Structure formats: structure tokens, C-alpha cells
Amino acid sequence: MVTQAATERDVVLRVNDLRTYFQTRWGTVKAVDGISFDLRRGETLGIVGESGSGKSVTMLSLMRLIPMPPGRIVSGSIMLDGEDLLQLSDGEMNRVRGSKIALIIQDPMTSLNPVFTIGNQVSEAIAIHQNIPKRSVMEQALSVLRKVNIPAAESRMRDYPHQLSGGMRQRVVGAIGISCQPQVLIADEPTTSLDVTIQAQYLALLKELQQDSNVALIFITHDFGIVAKMCDRVAVMYAGRIVEQGSVRDIFNRPSHPYTEALLASVPRMEEDVDRLYSIEGQPPTLHDLPPGCPFADRCQYVMERCREEYPTRTTISEGHDASCWRLI
């Protein structure tokens, strides 16, 4: 009971039944359709899924950066540090963004503004969120750049993004993310456009930063290799919902949702020599007219009558590991 209370206090972010819909010409697209998860201090949660599964919309919803219209957060709550982000005014949300919850964006080549210096862009969040004199803002920006191992940070402050390499830009984006010591840091596929060596360096850096500051990290990716290396827990998304979540160990050892199973089966392995990589048959469903029942049914090798009629309820497999599949009931 004591440990229960302790973990309860450690929860920094609690997302409950979040739904984000988009109005399009073809109807309502339920990009995120009722997801819930907890995130504890210092923990890393991986959100995994293929393109269009709702990972990025989840991330944008957490930041409340969904373009409205056509998007709309229909219901749910996002409790960060005791306050519901969905109840905040736009002005209040601006104060939260970048200070309590921050974002590291996908593509380092396009995520820095080409017409401002690095120093300018790194110091911006600090200047907005911390009421300190300009000189200390610059000092803090410099120390953040040093923290992400930018060599000759002092002179880099005056450089423009096009003068930096891709790996260096990505570290600058990382520096912007941590510049105000956020409680939650969302990394949206932060390494997809980097080569493997730089990627490994960057992941190690993130891990190190996390240990320093105890920030909770959400890792949005489709790379199970990164999940295994970086994450404590995993949430697998399919068609706008979390179909399975649990500790990395649980997910890798006892995948319980057929989709998770299939995803893991399609990860290439070094030690095996196969002619063709495993791939999941069929296409993910279009989200504007989802049939009732499980959206994975059409591609599932275990499909049953019931799967096409009713969405499966969430079933607990073991402590902290649950999945939504009729087979488990």
C-alpha cells in the first residue's frame, strides 16, 4: 500500500480518455480515440505505432497544438502536475508550453528557424518563461548548449542553423527542449533523419539528461530498437487507440495483442538470416469510417466473430500490463 501511494505521488502526467477528432470533407476522423496513460517522474514511455496510428496527434494534443479547426480535442483530461491542461486558457497554456512540458521535434533540418541565430532560438523559451535579466538568459542558454555537448558553444550562439550539421542541430533542438527544466519532455521521432552513429550518441545524451534532471520522457517512435534501449514502458497505438501497454520487458516477452506480436515479428534481427522480412498483411484502416469492433480485425490472424461486432475491453494481464483483445477474455 505504501509503494502504491508513492507511485501515485510520482505521477507527473495523467492522460485520461483523450479524444482528438478532425472534421474533414470525408467525415470525422477519430485520430485519437480515448487513450489513457500515466507517466511517472524520471520514467520513459515509448509510444509505438505505424504512420497514421495517432502517435503524433497524441503528442500535439498533449501540447495543445492541434490545428483548430479542423481538429478538436473532444473530451478527456491531461493532468500535468495537478492541473488539467485542457481547462487552461490560451494564455495560461502558453506559460505551460516550453516550461513544464516541452517538445523535441522530428526533423532537425527544418525545426530551427533559418533567420534567427542559435543563441536567439535557445534563449527564447528561457526569456519567455523565466523572469530574469537578459544577461542571465544568455548565460543560461549557453549552459544548456554546453549540456548537450555543443563544442565551442559560445561562438555557436552567434551562428545560424544552416551553418550547423544535422546532428548538431538536433542537439540544439534538444537544448531548447530542456532549457526550462520541464517535467515532461516529448520526443517525436527525434532520430529518424540522423545516421546510426549520431543517433546512438543522441540517444545516450537524452538518457544522460534525463538522469540529471529526472524529467519524464515520452518517446514517440516506430523503432522497437530505440524502445528497447530507451524506454521503461511502452504503449502500442493502433487506429487512434492504445491497444496494449506495459513494461518493456512485458511487451517484448509476452506481447498479448496480436498487433504487438506482429509488430515485433516484423523487426529485423541480426542473428537470423531471412529472405523476406515479416510484414503485416493489409493496410491500417482509414480513420473516418471505422467499423464497429476491433479496427485490427481485418488484419488479425486470430480474428473471431466477436471482434467485428464490439471493441474489446481493456484486460489486465499482470500488474501494469494490459491489452485490448477478445482473446484475452
Q: Which is nearer to other proteins, 82 or 114 (CB)?
A: 114
Q: Which is nearer to other proteins, 155 or 316 (CB)?
A: 155
Q: Which is nearer to other proteins, 102 or 198 (CB)?
A: 102
Strand partners, 217: 44, 185
Residue type, 86: L
Smallest separation (angstroms) from other proteins to the CB of 217: 15
Nearest-CA neighbor of 138 among 162, 159, 155, 157? 157
Smallest separation (angstroms) from other proteins to the CB of 223: 20
Q: Which is nearer to other proteins, 120 or 213 (CB)?
A: 120
In angstroms and rounded to an integer, the radius of gyration of the C-alpha atoms of the chain is 21
Q: Which residues bind other proteins (CB under 8 A)?
A: 63, 65, 90-91, 94-99, 102-103, 105-107, 110-117, 124-125, 128-129, 160, 162-163, 173, 176
Cβ atoms 37, 235 nearer than 8 A: yes
Cβ-proximal residues to 327 (8 Å cutoff; 6+ apart), any chain: 258, 302, 304
Q: Which is nearer to other proteins, 13 or 307 (CB)?
A: 13
> Cell match 530507451: residue?
230
Q: Which is nearer to other proteins, 66 or 153 (CB)?
A: 66
| CB-based contacts of 128-134 (< 8 A; 24+ apart in sequence) | 128/94, 128/98, 128/99, 129/95, 129/98, 129/99, 129/180, 130/180
Cell numbers given for 232: 521503461
Residues 249 and 231: their CA atoms lie apart, in Å, by 10
Cβ atoms 58, 39 nearer than 8 A: no
157 φ/ψ sector (left φ>0, alpha ψ -120 to 50, else beta): alpha
Smallest separation (angstroms) from other proteins to the CB of 100: 9
Nearest-CA neighbor of 222 among 270, 269, 186, 190? 190
CA separation, residue 217 to residues 63, 173, 220 (Å): 14, 15, 10
Smallest separation (angstroms) from other proteins to the CB of 7: 28
Smallest separation (angstroms) from other proteins to the CB of 285: 26
Q: Which is nearer to other proteins, 160 or 252 (CB)?
A: 160
Smallest separation (angstroms) from other proteins to the CB of 178: 12
Smallest separation (angstroms) from other proteins to the CB of 209: 17
Smallest separation (angstroms) from other proteins to the CB of 191: 15
Residues written for the chain: 329
Q: Which is nearer to other proteins, 17 or 92 (CB)?
A: 92
